[in-house]
Structure 1
Amino acid sequence: MSDAVRESEIAAEQAYLDRVYVRLDQLRVSAAEVEKAGYSLARVGNFGALVERDAMVYHAARRRRALESEHDGLVFGRLDLGPDGVSGADAAAVEPAVPDGEVRYIGRLGLRDESYDSLVVDWRAPAAAPFYRATPADRMGVVRRRSIRSTNEKVVSIEDDLLDPAGAPESMAVIGDGALLANLSRATGRGMKDIVATIQREQDDAIRSPASGVTVVRGGPGTGKTAVALHRAAYLLYADRNRYESGGVLVVGPSDVFVGYVSRVLPSLGEDTATLRSLGQLVEGVQATRHEPPEVAAVKGTLRMQRVLARAARAPVPDSPDRLRILYRGELLSLDKPALDDLRRTVLNLGVKRNAARAKAAGHVLDTLWRQSVELLPSSRQQHREEFAPDIAERPEFIQFMRGWWPVLRPAGVLGWLTDRRRLSRWANGVLSNREIATLSGSIRPDDPSVEDVALLDELHELLGDPPVRRRPPRDPFQVAEGVREVTTYADRMAAARARAVERPEDYRDYAHIIVDESQDVSPMQWRMIGRRGPHATWTIVGDPAQAAWADPAEAERAMDGAVGTRRRSGFTLTTNYRNSAEIFATAARVIRQAQPDIELPTAVRSSGVAPVERVVEDLEPAVREAAQALLDQVEGTVGVITPTGRRDEVAKWVDGLGPERLQTVGALDSKGMEYDGVLVVEPADIRAESATGFRTLYVALSRATQRLTTVGTRPY
């Protein structure tokens, strides 16, 4: 195809894009005017006008925000359909390229012109599905599929797929070698690219699968698992907004680095209501980024820890009083340690969580003391239980005893009890081996919890319950000072009431849908933690068993089953590696096949002709800096330096200042789910030797690059 034809086609698409942006500006102005007009309805003064104002302002403001959030890449696709694909309802008002056919433009947002004819079809709408799902074997009425790439409001390139050569008229131009491979060769930028314009059919099947039950997506490196997960969140919010926006969508990723990496994707898809959390952020008030060594993580992640923590949560408080003595009417009432232990067990056996049972515990102590008084005192000096209890309960010595014997417990405090080897050995007896006990006791740092500790803290919160809190009356948002209220309209008050009604607590635990990415690395204890956030949720679970860092997949599978329950499951497998060149993936595949010769791996669909660089050196630091600089010179986008977990900070200092905007240094575990244009893997042999599953971690590190891969180490891997 000549340059003149290409430029002509780009000019035609530019003319249409100009029309779209003119309409977008009109709609922005219109939405702002409707919002302003809504406020003026309050002047009418009757009840109906106020309600109408409230509705108008709410919907107009929401529409305005949606229109303002979409700009760059608003229109990214075009479908030229033949006569068998015509629907009419979503056709653009342009001359069809196929006789008796129609044209549909696909974008991030649905737009219509002044006559209510379609300008752009929202990518999530059913009419846009052929853009992702059509293949030469199942054309879905599509003759030509065009990918439109633009910067700001300017079309910079187009790429076509001709799905029905027989149905294409001779005058139809076909530009490029196909949208997907061209798009994959471009730089990724700092944040993860959304693949809304390049979703292929097997990915789209998973994105649009039924919302109910559990959707399980498996796929190797570069198959677009993460993009599928995020696009599924956007699709569900579009398809059933009332359900999923009110209940909430939670996306759980493996690390803070990963969450930051993907955080721009959902807003770029038109959605900003989903909650993104890493495994170290799921407990309110905790921001854990530190990872434990593999042998420690294995102990903290096993389901057996639940039994150890349950024993700790029921144990006596360390250094608490072991007896109570109160002088009452000349007689000494006392409870010794065995009696107090019996009372503690009796209260906890009632099924009440420890922090909620403080009043019950005090009541049982008072009952026991009252029965003693009945035995010790003559009937003439005895009190009824109703008189005895407040008399004793108000005494300073009883109050002080209860504070020490049954204090309000915090998860971090109870976790800290495990630092005492004797206590831990008692609670872990018959549950953990002596070696595991020794490993665990030296790894507890309550003031600096690791990512693996977060699940333990959440388990303890579940066992202990919330501390009792004094309920405060809701604050009046319009109160200026004591006895003075702001002048408000009815709609203002209704809007404030509605905001309070949908406000979620900080520790929200009733999401409507939960998406778990890199699920193969979620430990059994972490599955329990995630499961508590959505007891009634539907699920999307995305992962790759070949990348699993958890050594006991059967235990993790049982824990996942416990989290998601018996809901119906739908499974999808992604088989095509779109990220890596064939040369790069061959290097990663060689590592994983040494350990698992029969493993099924995805197929890399493009060849760059550039082989990975493998260097063995004596002086590591200058070699790493030199290799990082070379990658920055060779690629336009990002460069990731992936290191053994314990050497991340050290290596980061070596490459400091080389390319602060484009270069990122991460530990091997934090590289999960990441994507870079160029990757430098430092000491790959050490990454492989870090744990029993280190070969899988190295496989992950070697498969992060889209264009260039270099390894530098002091010995072969």
Structure 2
Amino acid sequence: MTSPDPALRHALSRERAHHERCRTAFHGMVEDAQEHVVTGADVSASGADAEVLGHGLRSRAKEMRELPEGPLFFGRLDFGGGERPDPGELRSLHIGRLRIGEHPAQEPLVVDWRAPVSRAFYQATVHDPQGVAVRRRFGWAPGSNGDSADLTGLEDEHLQAGGESRASEIVTREMERPRVGPMRDIAATIQPEQDDLVRGDLALSVCVQGAPGTGKTAVGLHRAAYLLYTHPHRVRRGGLLILGPNRTFLTYISQVLPALGESGVRQSTLRDEIARHPVAETDDERAAGVKHDVRMAQVLRRALYARVGAEGVDALVVPDGSYRWRVTESELLRIMADVRDEEPPYAVGRERVRTRVVRRIQAQAERRAGPRSNAWVQRISRSRAVGAYVDAVWPRVRAEEVLAELLTEPGVLAAAADGLLDADEQKALLWAKPPRSWKSARWSAADLVLLDEVAGLIEHPQGYGHVVVDEAQDLSPLECRAIARRAAFGSVTVRGDLAQGTTPWAARSWETVLRHLGKPDAVVVPLTTGFRVPGAVLALANRLLARLDVEVPAARSLRGEGELRFRAADGDLPGAVVAAVRDALGREGSVGVVAADGDVERVREALGAAGIGAGGADESGARVALVPASVVKGLEYDQVVAVDPAAMVAAEERGLHRLYVVVTRAVAGLEVVHDGPLPF
């Protein structure tokens, strides 16, 4: 870092001056963007063109204004110069979170980290310098808002002849910085194996199996930012969706993409994406397990298409003035069979039947009296006879009607589930108190997944160009299918950790997940090097890993420091928790107190009585957060106090997996408070 060496002090002074120049240029870019909005309003064009232009200009200006404050560059590359480069011969490029320039035609003052030329910042080595003579990293004061005086140090890595590879103190310090507040971007610290994943082609679907602390979530978010930069029109036209496991997690990651200069990306949960109705009911474990089973897809298809059939329907007669056109029963059966064989969405199939019946009538009419006008075709298509026939053989239906009937009528369920579900499974599905109609039904979370499956059979939902899925190991087959429908013509970035699977239907192999997502050929890339979780904590987690029913390589940590402590409660668990939290508050950074869901209120009362205020998981400003074990996945705290691991394990079927998640939330120290034998 900063040295008394006059040469380094001079270099630091020059870099601060460059940053001042960048700040001036950036403010000029913001003003120009706003000015373009004003002048763009006066551009002579069609109404539609003007609206599109205005929307684009306003969006760009808004993005520029709302970009979070912070340092404008974090690195520099010096290219060329031969074996012993003269500084004057080198071409230098500063690397930052977005491109900054004084004029579009001039060399930029800062190059976007996603630009092709910036890749060498992450990939160049002594053995493969990629034309880089010197790689410089900058150290900024923690929490800097971009004041040039906050540039406190720099370090140079010489990569050409005579250079030597070494670990970066700046990168290490940034990775180990206290985890207070929402998740930060890692543009300054991306590692080579992470960079390979970030810069994968848009058409490539990738599955990242990431051990705790390997940065898999950050990789997915930075890949989204990279795709938006590299393929802006294709990605924005198709849309980019980021799916998190819950809203707490989305709050935690919400600032990453804006900090990288990208806004307007939809960040949501799968439940929000498929929410046709509010969740007003809770399934028992048996019913939920059956509803999430992949066999239900076939049950629902049968239930929907049981409504389709032309048997018993006579020939169709359509009045046309004084004439009557007739389509025979055999022709109608052939039309129905052909459409069924094509397997279109249900609503499309219904219209195909209508269209092909009208074509038969049109062919008869044209043989008799010549070509028919479009108005005539529309009149026949909307005629009462054709409409009544289509309603009889391929009725219009809502997803709610299909599912409510299936879960209410034992006979309907038995027919649809024949050979797929046994009698006990069918009994578990049936509603104990059927509603009067689907309109008064109270839907569970699992019912929403089933409704989406039926709705997807009726009509395909709007798709996205790319979908990023976090904590994918917890998705059920039916949930995967819901995502697959939204990524049918796009690609996906799937990230997760099989060892952290905590739902009853959690995956045990990525092959199964990817097949249900409709991306069986996606490449699976393991990340096993932990950059944040201390070695002692990962060693404890690896002891648990050996007891989990998943084939996942053990993780290793680059961090040798970190604390692992055990505290026996000796019959006073609340008092032991309070003491552990006080010890944690004496250390730097955030404190996460994690307890089994049923113990949270008891712990909150104990902390409150001791004068320790604890926020919730989604309160980013709180120094101490009290978090139920069920929602801690994906979050990080410098100090974690794990309360009564045995209670966490006993609370659910995959309790050992839940405990694995809890202990790996610590990025500096972990204290395990227990009142009895430990499940390690």
Deviation at 1:135, TM superposition (A): 3.4
CA distances 1:66-114 after superposition (whole Å, capped 9, x unpaired): 332335224232224252699xxxxxxxxx9845223221111101125
Deviation at 1:233, TM superposition (A): 0.7
Selected match of 1:701 from 654, 662, 672: 662
Structure 1 unmatched runs, 5+: 87-95, 317-344, 363-385, 395-401, 467-506
Selected match of 1:203 from 188, 194, 218: 194
Name the SS of the counterpart of 1:73 in structure 2: coil
Selected match of 1:70 from 61, 67, 72: 67
Selected match of 1:17 from 16, 19, 24: 19
Alpha-carbon distance in 2 for matches of 1:158, 1:296: 59
1:685 aligns with 2:646: yes
Alpha-carbon distance in 2 for matches of 1:212, 1:223: 24
1:560 aligns with 2:514: yes
AA aligned to 2:661 is V
TM-score (normalised: structure 1): 0.71
1:30 aligns with 2:20: no
**Cross-structure match for 1:125:** 115
Deviation at 1:420, TM superposition (A): 7.0
Alpha-carbon distance in 1 for matches of 2:275, 2:235: 22
1:102 aligns with 2:56: no
Deviation at 1:10, TM superposition (A): 4.6
Selected match of 1:138 from 125, 128, 151: 128
Selected match of 1:212 from 203, 212, 223: 203
Asked whether the equivalents of residues 216 and 542 of structure 1 are also in contact (C-alpha less than 8 Å), the reply is yes
AA aligned to 2:28 is Q
Alpha-carbon distance in 2 for matches of 1:676, 1:621: 21
Alpha-carbon distance in 1 for matches of 2:600, 2:77: 50
Alpha-carbon distance in 1 for matches of 2:111, 2:541: 40
Alpha-carbon distance in 1 for matches of 2:68, 2:15: 16
AA aligned to 1:697 is R
Asked whether the equivalents of residues 473 and 513 of structure 2 are also in contact (C-alpha less than 8 Å), the reply is no
Alpha-carbon distance in 1 for matches of 2:649, 2:640: 17
1:152 aligns with 2:145: yes
Name the SS of the counterpart of 2:492 in structure 1: strand
Name the SS of the counterpart of 2:207 in structure 1: strand
Asked whether the equivalents of residues 108 and 270 of structure 1 are also in contact (C-alpha less than 8 Å), the reply is yes
Name the SS of the counterpart of 1:611 in structure 2: strand
Selected match of 1:711 from 658, 672, 680: 672
Selected match of 1:457 from 451, 455, 458: 451
AA aligned to 1:579 is R
Q: 1:280 to 1:10 in 2, by over 3 A?
A: farther
Structure 2 unmatched runs, 5+: 308-335, 355-379, 435-439, 616-620
Q: 1:527 to 1:623 in 2, by over 3 A?
A: same
CA distances 1:321-372 after superposition (whole Å, capped 9, x unpaired): xxxxxxxxxxxxxxxxxxxxxxxx999979787789999999xxxxxxxxxx
Deviation at 1:686, TM superposition (A): 3.0
Name the SS of the counterpart of 1:16 in structure 2: helix
Deviation at 1:178, TM superposition (A): 2.0
Asked whether the equivalents of residues 251 and 515 of structure 1 are also in contact (C-alpha less than 8 Å), the reply is yes
AA aligned to 1:279 is L
Alpha-carbon distance in 1 for matches of 2:566, 2:156: 37
CA distances 1:477-507 after superposition (whole Å, capped 9, x unpaired): xxxxxxxxxxxxxxxxxxxxxxxxxxxxxx9
1:259 aligns with 2:253: no
Deviation at 1:54, TM superposition (A): 6.8
Alignment of 1:486-635 (within 5 A): 509-549=462-502, 553=507, 557-558=511-512, 560-565=514-519, 569-595=522-548, 599-635=552-588
Selected match of 2:595 from 620, 628, 643: 643
Selected match of 1:83 from 68, 80, 85: 80
AA aligned to 1:178 is E
Name the SS of the counterpart of 1:250 in structure 2: strand
CA distances 1:186-219 after superposition (whole Å, capped 9, x unpaired): 1223321111111110000000012213222222
TM-score (normalised: structure 2): 0.75
Name the SS of the counterpart of 2:41 in structure 1: helix
Alignment of 1:289-308 (within 5 A): 297-308=288-299
CA distances 1:204-253 after superposition (whole Å, capped 9, x unpaired): 00000122132222221111111111111110111011100111011122
Deviation at 1:454, TM superposition (A): 3.1
Q: 1:59 to 1:439 in 2, by over 3 A?
A: closer
AA aligned to 1:109 is L
Alpha-carbon distance in 2 for matches of 1:348, 1:571: 38
Deviation at 1:154, TM superposition (A): 1.9
CA distances 1:559-580 after superposition (whole Å, capped 9, x unpaired): 532433466x444332310120
Asked whether the equivalents of residues 74 and 138 of structure 2 are also in contact (C-alpha less than 8 Å), the reply is yes
**Cross-structure match for 1:225:** 216
Asked whether the equivalents of residues 604 and 614 of structure 2 are also in contact (C-alpha less than 8 Å), the reply is no
Alignment of 1:77-476 (within 5 A): 77-83=74-80, 98=87, 100-114=89-103, 116-140=106-130, 141-149=132-140, 151-155=144-148, 156=150, 162-164=156-158, 178-286=169-277, 297-313=288-304, 408-411=397-400, 414-415=403-404, 418=407, 427-428=416-417, 430-434=419-423, 436-437=425-426, 439-441=428-430, 449-463=443-457, 465=458
Q: CA RMSD in A?
A: 4.5
Asked whether the equivalents of residues 280 and 450 of structure 1 are also in contact (C-alpha less than 8 Å), the reply is no
Alpha-carbon distance in 2 for matches of 1:573, 1:290: 38
AA aligned to 1:135 is T
1:659 aligns with 2:650: no
Alpha-carbon distance in 1 for matches of 2:408, 2:153: 61
Q: 1:31 to 1:349 in 2, by over 3 A?
A: closer
| Count of aligned residue pairs for this structure pair | 599
Deviation at 1:424, TM superposition (A): 5.3
Q: 1:680 to 1:66 in 2, by over 3 A?
A: same
Alpha-carbon distance in 1 for matches of 2:304, 2:230: 44
CA distances 1:584-629 after superposition (whole Å, capped 9, x unpaired): 2122122112446985222210122422344445343444344345
AA aligned to 1:627 is A
Q: 1:583 to 1:412 in 2, by over 3 A?
A: farther
Name the SS of the counterpart of 2:179 in structure 1: coil
Deviation at 1:527, TM superposition (A): 1.0
Deviation at 1:435, TM superposition (A): 5.0
Alpha-carbon distance in 1 for matches of 2:636, 2:432: 32
Asked whether the equivalents of residues 509 and 550 of structure 2 are also in contact (C-alpha less than 8 Å), the reply is no
Alpha-carbon distance in 2 for matches of 1:421, 1:646: 36
AA aligned to 1:243 is R
Asked whether the equivalents of residues 411 and 458 of structure 1 are also in contact (C-alpha less than 8 Å), the reply is no
Asked whether the equivalents of residues 584 and 612 of structure 1 are also in contact (C-alpha less than 8 Å), the reply is no
Asked whether the equivalents of residues 70 and 270 of structure 1 are also in contact (C-alpha less than 8 Å), the reply is yes
Asked whether the equivalents of residues 339 and 352 of structure 2 are also in contact (C-alpha less than 8 Å), the reply is no
Alpha-carbon distance in 2 for matches of 1:142, 1:349: 65
AA aligned to 2:493 is T
Q: 1:230 to 1:349 in 2, by over 3 A?
A: same
Deviation at 1:421, TM superposition (A): 7.1
Alpha-carbon distance in 1 for matches of 2:292, 2:42: 59
Alpha-carbon distance in 1 for matches of 2:482, 2:95: 39
CA distances 1:414-461 after superposition (whole Å, capped 9, x unpaired): 258526778756654543345544555579999665544432221122
AA aligned to 1:687 is M
Q: 1:292 to 1:225 in 2, by over 3 A?
A: farther
**Cross-structure match for 1:90:** none
AA aligned to 2:18 is Y
Asked whether the equivalents of residues 294 and 691 of structure 1 are also in contact (C-alpha less than 8 Å), the reply is no
Which range is displaced more, 149-158 or 128-137?
A: 149-158
AA aligned to 1:122 is D
